[in-house]
Amino acid sequence: MSAAQLPAMLKALREQRRMTRLTLSIRAGVSEDAIRSFEKGKGLPSAEVLARLAAALGADVGALAAPPKEAA
């Protein structure tokens, strides 16, 4: 996983699914502050939390490390 790409992808996937940070935090079992920190690049989730975030977003872990797609 590229730590530099994670914040942008996490936020992009969350927004594509029209999910608030609160909704994602509840579904992934982490705090809303943790989601905010991950999206701002101020912290990295553990492998376990990353897997829970991906599951909550309906994505695989690899999707969180891929570069965000440009809006057409």
d(CA 59, CA 7): 15
- Mean pLDDT is lowest, of 7-11, 53-57, 66-70, for 66-70
- 34 vs 12, 22, 26, 71, 72, CA distance in Å? 16, 10, 11, 26, 30
What pTM was estimated for this model as a whole?
Answer: 0.84
Query: What is the dotted CATH code of the domain comprising 6-59?
Result: 1.10.260.40
Which of 14 and 64 is assigned the larger pLDDT? 14
